[in-house]
A and B are shown apart, each in its own frame.
Chain A
């Protein structure tokens, strides 16, 4: 199968993933966390990735960053960044790749700051080590970065435990954009942010992204945010992509029953309370088939038989 989607902005994708398969081999539990996944992200494109909890989204992000460790095994497929084979990179190439080319906000962001260093020292560290700025210049930029994510620069002197969950998340976002990467991976970056702050931060990122032209891989469970922000998106289930298209097309006409469940499951903000169910009990999708193009640039995995799936 070839999924040659039209990329946004440029013909040359920044990131190109083909048939990626990742397995976790445990003595009790072996999982194929990612199963023949393909997608690409163009220059200046925001690509959204949504899906079931546990369907392999973070695993894909970690694979791109080459951060998967032992029980994990990339058993097939390729990851190319700017035409280069990421899986074949040598250690010094990898270091540059991780800091200057790609930056990632981990899902565990709230818990990923160094507990014994102030926020300021951690940002200054990034600048002095990787950009060669003086300490003074780094401090000035660190203050700017915090303002970008709506944190009072006085907080440069705070230790992580002195910040709220959402503040820590924002500090990590600030660090990720510090070095102006060409690909920014955001794994659930706003779970601890109220909608007001969340929108401001995402608007800031979008503005930066327009200005600097970087690409974004945006993982979130917040479908409205994803649709609002992404150019294209993919929906995953059980390690496979079940649907991918322009975000607006998926929003307007989700085709796969799982995508429909995701789109239709949030409770309304007006009107009476209506009982909702997630996916109807017992609805499981298995043997998910390869994607097929059903309308221009809209790919869906065909359902052989609706195994008890309900509309």
Chain B
């Protein structure tokens, strides 16, 4: 549990991985999800995801942060094929899985991709003992082996997540919140997947255990090349664990970039608000609710973008486009009409061509349909 963090893999190793397969481990393009809302006969719908593009390389950890209700769990649930996307593509190793297995995830898919759910109280069936969940995962995906091997594997799984093997006999209701969260992580690990979607997997763990789990996830990445989407509200842990951070706001990704750079130079107003709100016990006095409310109102309650309709702004006629922020090596971009690069970086001025995303063409159409972010 407390093995020190190994150094981040050398970029050379990563490059090699990439060139071997040529495709990211997981990629979503133009993913849209509309939920039916209102009564039984109402035709109203809410757009939870408005055309999300995201790629995760082999052995890469991407953190997804954002407002409560912005669509993070929906994105993960769509990728795990628990919700049916309204439009868009999900590519695993370059294959469109929505085309290949049209109606539900195949077992093969689930053995390559596992999800840890946000709610540890709702995701473990109360009638089974912990042993059942882990054994089932192992057997389903052919990892059980002989009874002896199974027993050893179960004990090992429990120990890796900081639980004692005697808890295998417990029922979920006999475990504390943080203990359940760790069972959920162990269940996903049992399958030895290539991609893990972890929806707030450590929110109920004390910091000391949390660090152990984060180190464990990093080790899995370093040793087994697992890729991960790590959904969290804990910016400090996102920074600690993830190579890149993506920020979601009102169903869209509004900013993405190398973790340290993104948190040091947040470009989207929402990201700035988020970073400024991280609790800091060193701050004298309590925070001023009025000041925060004003900041929040500026970001979140503006009905439309202040630069909309300004003919001087090329991007205001359409969707906000991606602007590169800072050094290209950081792959840091923001989508916002308000974004003004610092004066020193004049070469990236707003009037410059929009940043070409490497895969822009197929998704551009879907992106222009909705207009949400500032």
Residues of A within 8 A of B176 (CB): 53-54, 57-58
CB-CB nearest in chain B for A248: B281
* 9 A-B pairs closest in CB distance: A53-B178, A166-B68, A275-B5, A278-B208, A108-B121, A191-B203, A267-B240, A224-B279, A111-B122
Query: Are B289 and A203 in touch, CB under 8 angstroms?
Result: yes
Give every chain B residue within 8 A of A277 (Cβ-Cβ): 2, 4, 211-212, 215
B368 within 8 A of A: no
Contact A108 B177 (CB under 8 A): yes
Q: In the complex, are the beta carbons of B260 and A193 less than 8 A apart?
A: no
The residue that A194 contacts in the complex, of B35, B206, B274, with Cβ under 8 A, is: B274
Report yes or no: B206 in contact with A53, Cβ–Cβ below 8 A: yes
Q: How far is the CB of B313 from chain A (nearest CB, A)?
A: 27
Please, what's the 1-or-0 string for A194-206, where 1 marks a CB less than 8 Å from any CB in chain B?
1111111001101
A267 & B237 in contact (Cβ 8 Å cutoff) = yes
Cα separation A188 to B286 with both chains bound (whole Å): 20
Interface residue count on the B side (C-beta < 8 Å): 68
Shortest Cβ gap from B6 to chain A (Å): 8
Q: Is the CB of B212 within 8 A of A222?
A: no
Residues of A contacting B8 with CB < 8 Å? 273
Given A110-B118, A269-B278, A199-B287 contact (CB < 8 Å): yes
8 A Cβ contacts from A178-227 to B: 188, 191-200, 203-204, 206-207, 221-225, 227
In this complex, the interface size class of chain A, counting residues with CB under 8 Å from chain B, is 35 or more
Whether the Cβ atoms of B73 and A164 lie closer than 8 Å is: yes
By a CB distance below 8 angstroms, the chain A residues around B215 are 275-277
CB distance from A303 to the nearest CB of B (A): 17
What would 14 A/B residue contacts be, using CB atoms closer than 8 Å?
A167-B68, A170-B68, A196-B273, A199-B277, A199-B292, A206-B286, A221-B204, A221-B210, A223-B207, A228-B286, A265-B211, A269-B236, A278-B209, A280-B2
Q: Is B179 an interface residue (CB 8 A)?
A: yes
Residue B67 lies at the interface, judged by CB distance under 8 Å to chain A: yes
- For residues 245 through 288 of chain B, which have their beta carbon under 8 Å from a beta carbon of chain A? 260, 263-264, 273-275, 277-281, 283, 286-287
Count of A-B contacts with CB under 8 A? 198
Closest B residue by C-beta to A275:
B5
**Contact A167/B69 with A52-B209, A207-B289 known, Cβ cut-off 8 Å:** yes
Q: How far is the CA of A127 from the CA of B2 in the complex (A)?
A: 49
Q: Are B67 and A197 in contact (CB under 8 A)?
A: yes
* With A164-B68, A194-B274: A269-B263 Cβ-Cβ less than 8 Å: yes
Query: B286: nearest residue on chain A (CB-CB)?
Result: A228
Given contacts A108-B121, A277-B215, contact A266 B236 (CB under 8 A): yes
How many Å from the CB of A206 to the closest CB on chain B? 7
A2 sits at the interface (CB 8 A) = no
Question: What's the nearest-Cβ distance from chain A to residue B189, in Å?
Answer: 18
What is the interface of chain B, defined by CB distance below 8 A to chain A? 1-2, 4-5, 8, 35, 37-39, 65-70, 73-74, 118-119, 121-122, 166-167, 169-170, 174-179, 182, 200, 203-212, 215, 233, 235-237, 239-240, 260, 263-264, 273-275, 277-281, 283, 286-287, 289, 292-293, 296
- Let me know if A311 is at the binding interface, CB within 8 A: no
The smallest beta-carbon distance between B122 and chain A, in angstroms, is 4
Tell whether A251 is near chain B: CB-to-CB under 8 Å: yes
Q: How far is the CA of A26 from the CA of B173 in the complex (A)?
A: 12
Identity of the chain A residue whose Cβ is nearest the Cβ of B235 in the assembled complex: A269
Q: Which of A110, A225, A267, A270 has the most CB of B within 10 A?
A: A267
Question: Does B169 contact A200, Cβ atoms closer than 8 Å?
Answer: no
| A residues near B236, Cβ cutoff 8 Å | 266-269
Contact yes or no, B2 A165, CB < 8 A:
no
Most-contacted residue by chain A among B68, B281, B287 (CB, 10 A): B68
Closest to A51 in B: B206
**Which residues from B are CB-within-8-Å of A53?**
176-179, 182, 204-206, 209
Q: Are B208 and A52 in contact (CB under 8 A)?
A: yes
Known: A53-B177, A203-B287, A268-B236. A192 touches B121 (CB 8 A): no
Of the candidates A50, A167, A207, A276, which one forms a contact with B211 in the assembled complex, judged by CB atoms under 8 Å apart?
A: A276
Chain B, residue nearest A224 (CB): B279
CB distance from B303 to the nearest CB of A (A): 14
Shortest distance in angstroms between A187's beta carbon and chain B's nearest beta carbon?
Answer: 8
Interchain CA distance A164-B182 in the complex, whole Å: 22
What are the residues of chain B within 8 A of A165 when measuring CB–CB?
68, 73, 118-119, 200
CB of B20, distance to nearest CB on chain A (Å): 27
Contact A28 B279 (CB under 8 A): no
Give Cα distance in the complex from A136 to B239, angstroms.
48
> B1 and A278: CB pair below 8 A?
yes
User: Which chain B positions have C-beta within 8 A of A192?
Assistant: 68, 118, 200, 203, 233
Verify if A29 is at the interface (C-beta below 8 Å from B): yes
Q: Which of B73, B169, B208 has the most CB of A within 10 A?
A: B208
Q: Do the beta carbons of B278 and A195 come within 8 Å of each other?
A: yes
Answer whether residue A74 sits at the interface, using C-beta atoms and an 8 A cutoff: no
The answer to whether B208 and A262 touch across the interface, beta carbons within 8 angstroms, is yes
Q: Smallest CB–CB gap between A231 and chain B, Å?
A: 12
Shortest beta-carbon distance from A254 to chain B in Å = 12
By a CB distance below 8 angstroms, the chain B residues around A28 are 166, 169-170
Nearest Cβ on chain A to B293's Cβ, whole angstroms: 8
